[in-house]
């Protein structure tokens, strides 16, 4: 039986001061996955911001790892995000100026943690990118960058991994590969996985699907 | 990978711009340090060079010329004085020691100075070995002169006409070294001393030999004339002499007096506006470097908005993000400081060598602790000024951009 790592309750989202969408209540356990779906402009990304502590919801509560995210102070929330939430962005956003290893180590530094060499070795090996360790991030392929982005999201042993449109620019094979990678990594690391997407290919790969509700 | 290492990685990515900022900064630092050091070191080296000489009495003319020629030994004499008249003018209970000097010959560019043993009292100099001259064509070497010429007591050498190397050799009149002086730190160390009568003797005999050989001589009567001297140098017994003696001497028809301390202070006051202008230029360079570094940082921070937002998304607080900007500015500034210091050291070493070669002045520039503190504090201010705005921009990077 998996324990709950992420739960939302009555989350309403606002844009320009006006509520425009509601996120159905969501509960995810360790190693489980969910997709937040909806067409463009439906509020998926805004929902992901609320789940990651970046932008406050108009109302409602987000609990991650038994911590009410929006009850934390700003600084504490930033630190909490660094330590307990792993983020995978649509275009991965690696830091080009430094190596693959440094990209992972910076995730720990940002969260105020000491980067563990053992953890680095483990993740690079688990994701099959050990040979890229010292390669600069702007000198790796798109597929390799995906793996590095996933490894970085997992580096601080987060309670939950949030991914924003990770498959949008990928062909079917690559999308399936990345979804499998994200799910495997989340399961093996005991994290919950939430994917915000409008890509229907994701739906068969996750345990739970929630659709954004537009407010009239 | 620390945030400082990340800043270094960013610097490496824009190395051309960083190098330019660093070089401009280094020039500014070097200009400032050179001024700070030179401002003190040049007068200090002059003070050391004139040693115990309080007053130079020579022919009518510029007092500064007299000091430069006969106390610092960096310029040529402008004429001659009657030795007895000049000695009489400085005969006073307020004068501790006085010696006539006659300049006309050199050995390898080092001046051969005809004088009397009283010169040792003027400079408070002592023999390190040997003895003073007891006859014509004997010489006592200053400590540096002995080392440069590689001569020791008992060795012989031949002087040449004029005060610069390359003059006609007085081959018929070899000197014998009878003594070497202890170092004094003054211009005396680079002089070759001999009896003033020896200088007259050589010039008279050289003229006779040339007349016998070619029926004419190139020798000017100058120092060959009995009683002629280039100047008389004196050391005061009482500082009150400085108030009276130069004025008394200047009032005579044939003599002028030059006080090294007064003339160098006057020279310093003339040079001060120039020094201030160069200091201003140095400050301007530092300002341009800071502005360049700030503009460079700002543009690189703009180019890195997404990276900085990413760091925020990964949990970095504002301080950590600002650290990246400050570390970049600090690296440029401290590299500029190091390169500027190295450049200054090279410049100073070159000045030291050129001054020593051309004038014999011992130029030993150095920075006082408070001046070093000023340079470091100035560098810190430049870092803060250059990095503040880029750091504020970086610290406020929006994470939302990553998810747009």
Angle at A119 between CA A118 and CA A125, to 5 degrees: 90
Mark out chain A residues that contact chain B at CB-CB < 8 A.
45, 48-49, 52, 54-55, 75, 78-83, 87, 89, 93, 95-99, 101-102, 105-107, 109-112, 115, 152, 164
Indicate the range of B244-258, B326-340, B359-373 predicted with least confidence: B359-373
Query: Is the CB of B1 less than 8 angstroms away from the CB of A115?
Result: yes
**B1 to chain A: nearest residue by CA?**
A102
Cα–Cα dist B43/B72, whole Å: 11
Q: How many A/B residue pairs have CB atoms within 8 Å? A: 79
Min Cα separation B304/chain A (Å) = 9
Asked if residue B131 has pLDDT above 90, the reply is: yes
Say if B175 is an interface residue toward chain A (CB within 8 Å).
no
Query: Is the CB of B317 less than 8 angstroms away from the CB of A101?
Result: no
Angle at A138 between CA A132 and CA A139, to 5 degrees: 50
Candidates A45, A79, A93; nearest CB to B315: A79
Query: Under DSSP, is residue B217 helix (H, G, I), strand (E, B) or coil?
Result: coil
Query: Is the CB of A82 less than 8 angstroms away from the CB of B314?
Result: yes
At the topology level, CATH places domain A4-214 in Rossmann fold (3.40.50)
**Paired residues of A162 in beta bridges:** A87, A194
Label each residue of A125-147 as H, E or C: HHCCCHHHCCCEHHHCCHHHHHH
Angle at A155 between CA A151 and CA A157, to 5 degrees: 125
**Chain A residues inside the 8 Å CB shell of B5:** 98, 102
Say if B13 is an interface residue toward chain A (CB within 8 Å).
yes
Q: Model pTM?
A: 0.65
**A105 to chain B: nearest residue by CA?**
B1
> What's the pLDDT at B308?
81
> What's the pLDDT at B390?
74
A67-115: pLDDT as tens digits: 999 999 988 999 999 999 999 988 888 999 899 999 999 999 999 999 9
> What's the pLDDT at B203?
82
Give the DSSP H or E segment for B113.
strand B110-115
B249: tokens are: 């001497």
Query: Is the CB of B1 less than 8 angstroms away from the CB of A98?
Result: yes
Cα–Cα dist A158/A81, whole Å: 9
**B309 to chain A: nearest residue by CA?**
A93
Cα–Cα dist A143/A87, whole Å: 17
Query: Is the CB of A95 less than 8 angstroms away from the CB of B317?
Result: no
Q: What are phi and psi of A23, to 5 degrees?
A: -100, 120
Query: Is the CB of A81 less than 8 angstroms away from the CB of B6?
Result: no
A143-181 in b/e burial notation, b at 16+ Cβ within 10 A?
ebbbbbbbbbbbbbebbbbbbbbbbeebeeeebbbbbeb
Question: What whole-number percentage of chain B has pLDDT above 70?
Answer: 93
Domain range summary for chain A, segments of one domain joined by +:
4-214
> What's the pLDDT at A2?
66
ipTM of this predicted structure: 0.88
Sign of the CA dihedral running B247, B248, B252, B254: negative
B42-94: pLDDT as tens digits: 777 777 778 889 999 999 989 999 999 988 888 888 889 999 999 999 999 99
B59, B64, B65, B67: CA torsion to nearest 10: 80
Query: Is the CB of B403 less than 8 angstroms away from the CB of A45?
Result: yes
Query: Is the CB of A79 less than 8 angstroms away from the CB of B317?
Result: yes
Domain range summary for chain B, segments of one domain joined by +:
3-47+266-403, 55-258
Min Cα separation A162/chain B (Å) = 11
**DSSP letter string over A11-76?**
EEEEETTEEEEEEPPEEEETT-EEEEE-STTSSHHHHHHHHHTSS--SEEEEEETTEEGGGS-HHH
**B 301-330 → A contacts, CB under 8 A:** 306-307, 310-317, 320
Candidates A48, A93, A107; nearest CB to B306: A93
Query: Under DSSP, is residue A155 helix (H, G, I), strand (E, B) or coil?
Result: coil
Query: Is the CB of A107 less than 8 angstroms away from the CB of B314?
Result: yes
Min Cα separation B379/chain A (Å) = 27
Query: Measured between alpha carbons, how far is residue A80 from residues A67, A160, B126, B173 in Å?
Result: 9, 12, 80, 95
**B12 to chain A: nearest residue by CA?**
A97
Cα–Cα dist B141/A182, whole Å: 89
B143-179: pLDDT as tens digits: 989 999 999 999 999 999 888 877 888 888 899 999 9
Min Cα separation B316/chain A (Å) = 4
A197: tokens are: 């997407």
Asked if residue B236 has pLDDT above 90, the reply is: yes
Min Cα separation B187/chain A (Å) = 59
Identify the DSSP state of B183: P
Structure confidence at residue B223 as a pLDDT band (50, 70, 90) = low
Say if B300 is an interface residue toward chain A (CB within 8 Å).
no
A101: tokens are: 């290893």
Query: Is the CB of A97 less than 8 angstroms away from the CB of B13?
Result: yes
Judge whether A85 and A162 are in contact, CB under 8 Å.
yes
Query: Measured between alpha carbons, how far is residue B349 from residues B34, B109, B364 in Å?
Result: 11, 21, 9
A38: tokens are: 């909806």
| Of B195, B184, B222, the residue nearest B104 (C-alpha) | B222
Q: Residues 6 or more apart from B295 whose CB is under 8 A from it?
A: none
């Amino acid at each position: 039986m998996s324990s709950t790592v992420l739960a939302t309750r009555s989350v309403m989202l606002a844009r320009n001061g006006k509520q425009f969408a509601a996120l159905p209540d969501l509960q995810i356990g360790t190693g489980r996955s969910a997709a937040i779906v909806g067409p463009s402009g439906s509020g998926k990304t805004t929902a992901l911001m609320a789940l990651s502590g970046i932008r406050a919801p108009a109302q409602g509560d987000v609990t991650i790892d038994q911590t009410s995210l929006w009850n934390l102070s700003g600084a504490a929330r930033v630190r909490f995000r660094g330590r307990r939430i792993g983020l995978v962005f649509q275009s991965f956003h690696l830091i080009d100026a430094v190596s693959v290893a440094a990209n992972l180590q910076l995730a720990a530094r940002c969260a105020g943690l000491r980067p563990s060499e053992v953890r680095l070795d483990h993740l690079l090996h688990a994701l099959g990118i050990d040979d890229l360790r010292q390669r600069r991030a702007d000198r790796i392929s798109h597929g390799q960058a995906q793996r590095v982005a996933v490894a970085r999201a997992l580096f601080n042993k987060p309670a939950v991994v949030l991914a924003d449109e990770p498959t949008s620019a990928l062909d079917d094979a690559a999308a399936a590969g990345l979804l499998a990678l994200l799910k495997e990594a989340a399961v093996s690391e005991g994290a919950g996985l939430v994917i915000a997407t409008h890509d229907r290919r994701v739906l068969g790969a996750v345990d739970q699907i929630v659709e954004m509700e537009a407010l009239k | 990978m620390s945030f400082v290492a990340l800043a270094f990685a960013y610097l490496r990515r824009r190395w051309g711009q960083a190098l330019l900022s660093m070089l401009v900064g280094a020039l500014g630092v070097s200009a400032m340090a050179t001024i700070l050091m030179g401002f003190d070191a040049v007068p200090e080296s002059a003070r050391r060079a004139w040693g115990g000489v309080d007053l130079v009495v020579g022919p009518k003319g510029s007092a500064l010329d007299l000091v430069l020629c006969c106390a610092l030994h960096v310029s040529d004499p402008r004429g001659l004085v009657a030795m007895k008249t000049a000695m009489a003018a400085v005969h006073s209970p307020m004068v501790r020691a006085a010696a006539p000097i006659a300049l006309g010959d050199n050995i390898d560019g080092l001046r051969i100075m005809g004088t009397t043993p009283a010169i040792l009292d003027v400079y408070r100099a002592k023999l390190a070995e040997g003895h003073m001259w007891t006859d014509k064509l004997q010489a006592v070497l200053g400590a540096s002169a002995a080392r440069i010429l590689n001569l020791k007591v008992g060795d012989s050498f031949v002087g040449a006409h004029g005060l610069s190397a390359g003059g006609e050799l007085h081959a018929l009149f070899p000197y014998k070294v009878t003594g070497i002086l202890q170092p004094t730190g003054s211009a005396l160390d680079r002089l070759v001393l001999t009896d003033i009568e020896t200088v007259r003797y050589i010039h008279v005999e050289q003229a006779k030999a040339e007349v016998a050989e070619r029926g004419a001589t190139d020798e000017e009567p100058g120092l060959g004339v009995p009683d002629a001297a280039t100047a008389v140098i004196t050391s005061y017994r009482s500082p009150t002499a400085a108030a009276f003696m130069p004025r008394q001497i200047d009032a005579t028809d044939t003599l002028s007096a030059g006080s090294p301390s007064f003339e160098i202070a006057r020279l310093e006051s003339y040079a001060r506006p120039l020094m201030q202008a160069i200091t201003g230029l140095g400050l301007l360079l530092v300002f341009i470097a800071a502005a360049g570094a700030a503009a460079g940082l700002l543009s690189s921070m703009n180019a890195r908005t997404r990276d900085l937002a990413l760091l925020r998304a990964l949990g970095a607080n504002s301080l950590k993000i600002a650290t990246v900007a400050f570390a970049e500015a600090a690296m440029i500034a401290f590299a500029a400081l190091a390169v500027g210091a190295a450049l200054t050291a090279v410049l100073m070493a070159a000045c030291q060598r050129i001054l020593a070669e051309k004038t014999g002045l011992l130029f030993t520039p150095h920075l006082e602790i408070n001046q070093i503190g000023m340079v470091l504090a100035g560098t810190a201010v430049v870092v803060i000024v250059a990095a503040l705005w880029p750091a504020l921009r970086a610290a406020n990077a929006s994470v939302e951009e990553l998810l747009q």
